Amino acid sequence: MSGMGQFLRRMRRSYLKRLFKNAGYSKNTPLVHYLEGIRAEPLYEEMPLHYDLFDRNEFLCRSLSLYDLPNDLKVPPDELFIIGSGPSIRKQAVDKLANKNTILLNGAVTLIKDAGLHPLCVLVVDELFCRKRLDLLASVPDETNMVLTFPAIKEIAFERPDIIRKNRIFLLHEKNMDFHGKLGIDAYNLSQFDKPTHGVFRAGTVMSAGIQLAAFMKVPNVYLLGLDIGNAETEPRFYENGKDKIRTGLLKDYDELILPFMKLAAAWYNRHEYRIFNCSPVTKLPYSVIPYHDFDAIG
């Protein structure tokens, strides 16, 4: 597409987004997807779904099933490290995870190059990150497993459809609701926790999606890195500097979304006799919810 054509398409999209927002439509309404041109067509009715992904009439790729993702777990498959973007990552020797099972969240993709990691997958749920830091996603090696929500896929495909084409795309559904304290830790929510093929709970942080994905894969030992939270507004993420820092809602969402979700996660892992640890030494999340594990002690 020519530069002018892309400019006009972008302006049209911006106008449509404002129009539908003012009219009270959700950004996930099928009509919005249709008018923007980037759409996903399901092949089967049951979950999880394979999708044919299109940019208007141009075929991009066929998404893979989440059930296929555990097949790429390295041996031994009993440990998984989910790496977020907290500043504490700067002081941790994450290069020792090069041959471990890792899920890289958002800007943690920089660790593929900077620390030599070979992740199980890259996980992105936030379209804002895709819009602001598309350069980081463009740097991942070809054939990387990328677990993406549809809003994330749309943002990537709008500017850089080649990223969708050259990688292995897994479509992750989100539930049409946030997990907040009012929902509580009940039998239904616990039963849904390890079923991302039914949609993951939205809980104010991409880490919540990573934890649910780990539960789905039945990995018995899960370690969370970069889950700092408390310094989100005062310090840049480990891969940022002061000039390219993207806004964050972590502190705003902490009490209503993040903390209640982490309590649900702890309850699920305890019930199934799996273990989950927080390896961030400066976290806002109490260690009474997710216990601390010294990352330096991990071999």
Q: What is the pLDDT of residues 206-229, one digit of tens each?
A: 999 999 999 999 999 999 999 999
Instruction: Please give the mean pLDDT across all residues of the chain.
Output: 89
Q: Is the pLDDT of residue 50 over 80?
A: yes
CA torsion through residues 162, 163, 166, 169, sign: negative
Residue pair 266/294 in contact (Cβ under 8 Å)? The answer is no
Residue pair 121/66 in contact (Cβ under 8 Å)? The answer is no
Q: Average pLDDT in the 75-88 region? A: 95
> φ, ψ for residue 286 (rounded to 5)?
-60, 140
Q: How confident is the model at residue 193 (pLDDT cuts 50, 70, 90)?
A: very high
Residue pair 277/292 in contact (Cβ under 8 Å)? The answer is yes
Q: Read off the pLDDT of residues 147-161 as tens digits, 9 standing for 90 and up.
A: 999 999 999 999 999
| Per-residue pLDDT, 177 | 74
| Per-residue pLDDT, 44 | 43
Tokens of 65: 């099933």
In the chain the first and final C-alpha atoms are separated, in Å, by 50
Of the listed ranges 92-101, 231-240, 254-263, the one predicted with least confidence: 231-240
Residues 112, 107: Cα–Cα separation, whole Å = 10
| Per-residue pLDDT, 41 | 61
Q: Average pLDDT in the 167-192 region? A: 85
Residues 168, 174: Cα–Cα separation, whole Å = 19
Domain segments of the chain as ranges: 1-28, 69-297
Q: Quickly name the fold that domain 69-297 has.
A: sialyltransferase cstii, chain A (3.90.1480)
Higher pLDDT pick, 296 / 35: 296
Strand order in the sheet with 168-171: 168-171, 145-148, 121-124, 102-105, 79-83, 221-225, 275-278
Q: Average pLDDT in the 202-208 region? A: 94
Residue found under tokens 């997990």: 179
| Per-residue pLDDT, 45 | 40
Question: pTM of the entire structure?
Answer: 0.85
Residue found under tokens 């070979």: 118
| Per-residue pLDDT, 178 | 76
Q: How many CB atoms lie within 10 A of CB 208?
A: 21
Q: Read off the pLDDT of residues 125-150 as tens digits, 9 standing for 90 and up.
A: 999 999 999 999 999 999 999 999 99
